[in-house]
């Protein structure tokens, strides 16, 4: 069986139909998709029939087409049945509805008392004087002409004449029927039927015998031109060709060529991957890698030398800066840059005010002023920063100067930033004293950035809380206070760990890991503060 073609590429053809039967059948369909679909189906049925007539049996295609046609017919009949059922139901409901059906209303008007039917019957039927009684008496009475004609006593009456006509008609029809069903007459219907059946039967036998003989010749192995013999020859030729292509002793076979190609490829790979030959790719790769490693070692040594020299220069400049009067200015600038970066991230306004006087006459206290932005929960609230990098300040004097700075800059919250080497002995890294925060930070040590970051976030929260203390929810206040206390504790622990890390060498990795973890916790708490503060 030859399987149907599976290609889905459409084939466009412009056909002109000239056959009268085809034109008549196509015109029974509406022009458009209906006619196109019917024509395609007819073309497919015709092609399959011609293929079968040529000796190719495509059972699956015929079965599929038959199933599709049956499914299309079933769908059409089902749709017609449903539509007819709906229309019939609507019509019957209109006529037979128990409440307002047309038929019931009409019947009610006919049969009700004094209705149409009773009026008509009473007028034409009721009583001896009715129209029906009078008409019957006149036409069917004892003296009526009808009874005189139908009387059996008269030989020329209607019944006698009717009896004679019927007898003659029956006799004539019987003779005609007998003549049509006799075999003695050549032109009778029965004789013509027997002759036609005999002729058609002989013709059918001859055609069937011819078809059987043709099929026998096509599928006979004795007929070299038959379909079966041609198929056997093609299969035998294909088998011999396959055996020849995969014969190991045939130098022209594919198997022989593949073996030679694998052998040559194996030899080429072995020659390319050997280190015994200086010209092999692997040897060249080894020389290039050795040269690259040597060059990398040389550059690494030069880089380390430059780094050590640069670190030495930086250390020398930093020591010189600490001994000079510019160390304090550099620390102020570093604090200002850090606070300005955080303010930009939070859409706040940062001003470096160390060189300008404030609201107090000729007073320049307050190095940096941060004004909360309009998108924050406390717009225009101010935070002042005071940064000191020398050892002349105690905690008490720092708080006094920070109070003056808050008054001078009209700020609600103050932050005093000590350089690590200038902070009073025993001072924690992060401290809170009412509206003031004291923090220890070193610009050259990134590990202390979390201290100043925590101080900035806590100061923003304190500013928001101070402005909107009545509007802050109890749950948010508790969560923020808890986060702030956790930050103070974790920052102190972080500073202790960092101090231990500078002196302890044996367990340095563990200490640094713990410090990193605590720093992550502190940053999470700061994000929590910002989230709660943004909702205030």
> How confident is the model over 119-156, as pLDDT tens digits?
777 776 666 666 767 777 776 666 666 666 666 655 55
* Strand order, beta sheet including 368-371: 349-352, 368-371, 382-388, 413-419, 436-441, 430-433
Tokens 């972080």 locate to 494
Buried b / exposed e along 478-487 (16+ C-beta atoms within 10 A): eebeebbeeb
Residue 535 φ/ψ, nearest 5 degrees = -90, -5
Identify the band that residue 84 occupies on the pLDDT scale cut at 50, 70 and 90: confident
DSSP string of 139-174? HHSTT-HHHHHT-TT-TTSHHHHHHHHHHHHHHHHH
Which of 65 and 489 is assigned the larger pLDDT? 65
pLDDT in tens, 492-519: 666 666 666 556 545 556 666 777 777 7
pLDDT in tens, 1-34: 444 555 568 888 878 888 888 888 888 888 888 8
Q: At what angle do helices 281-323 and 327-345 cross, to 10 degrees?
A: 120
Q: Please say whether the beta carbons of 411 and 383 come within 8 A.
A: yes
pLDDT at 461 over 60: yes
Residues 6+ apart with CB under 8 A from 173: none
Which of 6 and 200 is assigned the larger pLDDT? 200
Q: Please say whether the beta carbons of 418 and 398 come within 8 A.
A: yes
**28: in domain:** yes
**Average pLDDT over the chain, rounded to whole?**
76
Domain end point (choices 94, 116, 149): 94
**224: in domain:** no
pLDDT at 37 over 50: yes
DSSP string of 347-394? T-EEEE-TTS--SSTT----SEEEE--TTSSSTT-EEEEEEE-STT--
Tell me the mean pLDDT in the region 471-486.
59
* pLDDT attached to residue 326: 47
Between CA 369 and CA 415 the distance in angstroms is: 10
**112: in domain:** no
pLDDT at 75 over 80: yes
Tokens 């015929």 locate to 62
Smallest CA-to-CA distance from 462 within 394, 349, 360, 372 is with 372
Which neighbouring-strand residues pair with 413? 383
**228: in domain:** no
DSSP code for 276? S
**260: in domain:** no
Tell me the mean pLDDT in the region 65-78.
84
**83: in domain:** yes
Domain end point (choices 62, 94, 126): 94
Between CA 16 and CA 29 the distance in angstroms is: 17
Tell me the mean pLDDT in the region 246-259.
72
Q: Considering only 60-69, 296-305, 363-372, which range has the smallest mean pLDDT? A: 296-305
**401: in domain:** yes
Structural domain count, the chain? 2
**492: in domain:** yes
| Domain membership of residue 67 as a residue range | 20-94
pLDDT at 44 over 80: yes
Domain end point (choices 94, 110, 125): 94
Q: Please say whether the beta carbons of 315 and 346 come within 8 A.
A: no
* pLDDT attached to residue 494: 63
The end-to-end CA distance of the chain, in Å, is: 82
* pLDDT attached to residue 64: 81
DSSP code for 3? P
Q: Please say whether the beta carbons of 410 and 438 come within 8 A.
A: no
Identify the band that residue 471 occupies on the pLDDT scale cut at 50, 70 and 90: very low
pLDDT at 107 over 90: no
pLDDT in tens, 390-447: 888 899 999 999 999 999 999 999 999 999 888 888 888 889 898 899 999 988 888 7
Which of 168 and 160 is assigned the larger pLDDT? 168
């Amino acid at each position: 069986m030859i399987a149907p073609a599976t290609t889905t590429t459409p084939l466009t053809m412009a056909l002109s139909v000239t056959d009268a039967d085809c034109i008549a059948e196509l015109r029974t369909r509406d022009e458009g998709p209906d006619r196109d679909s019917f024509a395609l189906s007819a073309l497919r049925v015709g092609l399959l029939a011609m293929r079968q007539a040529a000796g190719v049996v495509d059972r699956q295609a015929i079965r599929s087409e038959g199933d599709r046609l049956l499914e299309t017919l079933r769908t059409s009949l089902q749709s017609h049945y449903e539509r007819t059922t709906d229309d019939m139901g609507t019509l019957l409901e209109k006529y037979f509805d128990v409440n307002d059906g047309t038929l019931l209303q009409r019947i009610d008007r006919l049969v009700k008392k004094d209705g149409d039917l009773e009026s008509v019957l009473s007028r034409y039927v009721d009583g001896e004087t009715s129209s029906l009684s009078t008409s019957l008496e006149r036409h069917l009475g004892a003296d009526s002409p009808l009874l005189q004609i139908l009387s059996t006593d008269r030989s020329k009456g209607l019944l006698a004449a009717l009896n004679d006509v019927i007898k003659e008609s029956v006799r004539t029809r019987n003779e005609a029927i007998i003549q049509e069903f006799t075999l003695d007459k050549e032109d009778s219907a029965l004789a013509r039927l027997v002759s036609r059946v005999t002729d058609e039967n002989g013709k059918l036998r001859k055609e069937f015998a011819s078809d059987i003989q043709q099929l026998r010749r096509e599928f006979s192995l004795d007929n070299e031109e038959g379909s079966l013999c041609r198929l056997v020859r093609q299969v035998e030729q294909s088998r011999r060709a396959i055996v020849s292509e995969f014969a190991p002793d045939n130098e022209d076979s594919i198997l022989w060529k593949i073996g030679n190609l694998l052998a040559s490829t194996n030899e080429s790979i072995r020659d390319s991957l050997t280190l015994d030959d200086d010209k092999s790719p692997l040897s060249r790769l080894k020389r290039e890698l050795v040269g690259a490693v040597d060059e990398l070692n040389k550059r690494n040594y030069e880089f380390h030398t430059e780094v050590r020299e640069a670190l030495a220069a930086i250390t020398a400049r930093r020591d010189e800066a600490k001994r000079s009067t510019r160390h304090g200015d550099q620390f102020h600038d570093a604090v200002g840059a850090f606070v300005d970066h955080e303010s930009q991230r939070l859409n706040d306004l940062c001003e470096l005010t160390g060189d300008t006087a404030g609201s107090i006459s000729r007073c320049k206290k307050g190095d940096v002023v941060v004004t909360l932005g309009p998108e924050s929960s406390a717009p225009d609230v101010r935070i002042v920063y005071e940064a000191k990098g020398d050892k002349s300040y105690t905690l008490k004097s720092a708080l006094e100067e920070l109070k003056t700075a808050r008054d001078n800059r009209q700020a609600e919250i103050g932050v005093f930033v000590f350089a690590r080497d200038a902070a009073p002995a025993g001072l924690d890294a992060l401290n809170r004293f009412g509206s003031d925060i004291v923090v220890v930070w070193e610009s050259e040590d990134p590990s202390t950035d979390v201290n100043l970051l925590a101080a900035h976030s806590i100061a923003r929260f304190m500013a928001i809380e101070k402005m909107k203390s009545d509007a802050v929810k109890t749950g948010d206040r508790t969560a923020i206070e808890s986060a702030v206390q956790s930050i103070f504790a974790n920052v102190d622990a972080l500073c202790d760990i960092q101090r231990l890390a500078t002196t302890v060498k044996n367990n340095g990795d563990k200490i640094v890991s713990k410090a990193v973890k605590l720093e992550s916790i502190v940053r999470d708490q700061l994000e929590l503060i910002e989230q709660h503060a943004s909702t205030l």
